[in-house]
Chain A
Amino acid sequence: MDISIASLQGLSYSYLEVGNLALDGIDLEVQRGDWIALLGGNGSGKSTLAKHFNALLTPMQGACFICGMDSRDDKNLWEIRKTVSMVFQNPENQIVSTVVEDDTAFGPENLGLPTEEIRARVDRALKIAGLWDKAEVASYTLSGGQKQRLAIAGAIAMDTPCIVLDEPTAMLDPQGRKEVMDLLKSLHDKGTTIIHITHRLEEIENATKVVVLKKGKLVWRGTPKELFLRQELESWGLELPPMVAMWRELAKMGTIGQDVPPETERLVQALCQSL
């Protein structure tokens, strides 16, 4: 089995023929089983990059290979979309059908699968997404978190090895955010490769790789832990989770040792001992 899911090589893209590059020379390797956190502020180009993973956009310069298939070659289009599925920011705008299970079936129906296969995929996807009991419900009665889980169920039903999610929690309340993040965790545990676009550093703890975009350029890559120690976060349009920010200040002032992790229990322990 090929280990590479996506390989971006000097990828550049511009929405206009001439003018600013939305993406400028991106090099990135995504491997099977990765959870890539793709970070950046508004206008960093992260959504534009997301659309390259399943050939909704194709590079103007450089190349994008999905499981070895060149996305610029039109005949690879449908194979690529069978390899990488996408979930977008606004769940409301990606639900096609009024009934939950009908919507989940939309993708597999497009693939021309036999009826029984579609049914099996839909049932499985709804169970994973925790919407099994809502299968026959009208989608407009769902909460925000449930709607986004429905959108993710639609991607699960495509049975792709990789799912790209473009700020899936941006429009949700804390409850909905948690539901979606828990679902991503369980998908990753099942072996799905996750490419998660976000600007919330609270959501990257499970990422295996972190990539930061700024003005179309890939400016940093590393692990979540390494990211938390960077000084440039603010200029990247990112903000540390408050707990980590406080932890960093305390460590700087020498109130706690560098070895204490930014976790509540451990911090409380360390602080009680030091005072």
Chain B
Amino acid sequence: MKFLDNMSFGQYVPADSPIHRADPRCKIVSAVALITGVFLVKEPLGFSSWIAVLIFLSRLSRIGIPMMLRTVRPVMLLIAFTAVINVFFTSGTPLWEMGPVSITSEGIRMGIYMSLRLLLLVLFANLLTLTTSPMALADGIESLLSPFKKIGMPAHDIAMMMTIALRFIPTLLNETDRIMKAQLARGADLDRGGLIRRLKAFIPVLIPLFVIVFQRADDLAVAMEARCYRGGGGRTRMKPFIWSWRDGLSLVFVIISVVVITLLEGRLKL
């Protein structure tokens, strides 16, 4: 159960694949490009191309489609919500009407597309976090942000915060699970009543969780200091980035596919 929870938040799954081995900067830029691509398409052809790309990449990463799909679970509600909103609130030719509520064919299309977009977005983003260790991810972001250091952006601190946040997700999920069960055992009712009542019922879970988080943060800060951490200055890396020709080539392919899929779709529509 615990392990599944970790995966469902797109936690890093160590494996040996071309995608795992790629330079994190290449992967971050690619993910951004792919997500942009997803937002540029508007037609079945475009969407199906991106689904094909996703399937190809997840095969290549050895993560596999079933495991990928599991990572969408936490945002499933949001996706469903998006679909419903679009179905009911897009104007056009009504297919079905009852009072002020109507369903239009445009609405159905919009609903399907918007939720597909969201789904693809989450999946491409998760493909990045599933195949990139948090440390590498953070270092990659730091490296990409380093040009902005000149204008005062704390690139290193942002990256370190991300690493730690990702590192503590599994721990905190376990804690939440344990505290929730402990309060259930004390008779707490966490899933009955309206929204306000439910929020109130979560106080006995949230307060202990805050206490634990602060305690952990405090401990971690001391432990990091004891290990000579003093911010980004003077730090070196065990795994320095080596931008290989493969990374360059992959990035070129990604960008070409974004351009081609977008253009092709536009052309066909014309």
The interface of chain A, by Cβ under 8 A from chain B, is 51, 54, 56, 78, 81-82, 85-86, 88, 90, 92-99, 101-102, 105-115, 118-119, 122, 136-141, 154-155, 158
Contacts and interface: CB of A to CB of B under 8 A. Distances in A.
Contacts of B238: 101-102, 105, 108-109, 115, 118-119, 122
A115 B240 contact: yes
B143 interface: no
B161 to A, nearest CB: 12
Nearest to B174: A140
7 contacts: A88-B223, A92-B171, A98-B12, A106-B229, A112-B235, A118-B237, A138-B11
A154 B227 contact: yes
Contacts of A155: 227
Interface of B: 3, 6, 11-14, 133-135, 163-164, 166-167, 170-171, 215-216, 219-220, 222-230, 234-240
Contact of A90 (B3, B219, B227): B219
Contacts of B236: 109, 111-115, 118
Q: Name the residue among B167, B171, B220, B228 with the largest chain A CB count within 10 angstroms.
A: B228
Contacts, number: 112
| Closest 4 A/B residue pairs (Cβ) | A94-B223, A93-B219, A105-B238, A107-B227
B220 A94 contact: yes
B227 A98 contact: no
Nearest to B173: A140
Contacts of B134: 97-99
B113 to A, nearest CB: 35
Contact of A94 (B219, B228, B234, B237): B219
Nearest to B229: A110
Contact of A85 (B14, B219, B227, B239): B227
Contacts of A98: 11-12, 133-135, 166-167
A105 B166 CA distance: 18
B9 to A, nearest CB: 12
Nearest to B231: A110
Given A93-B216, A108-B238, A115-B236, A99 B12 contact: yes
Given A96-B167, A112-B234, A106 B227 contact: yes
Nearest to B15: A136
B228 A111 contact: yes
B170 A140 contact: yes
Contact of A93 (B170, B220, B227, B229): B220
B56 to A, nearest CB: 25
A158 B228 CA distance: 9
A115 B236 CA distance: 7
B216 A82 contact: no
A96 B220 contact: yes
Given A86-B226, A102-B135, A96 B219 contact: no
Contacts of A110: 227-230, 234-235
Nearest to A151: B223
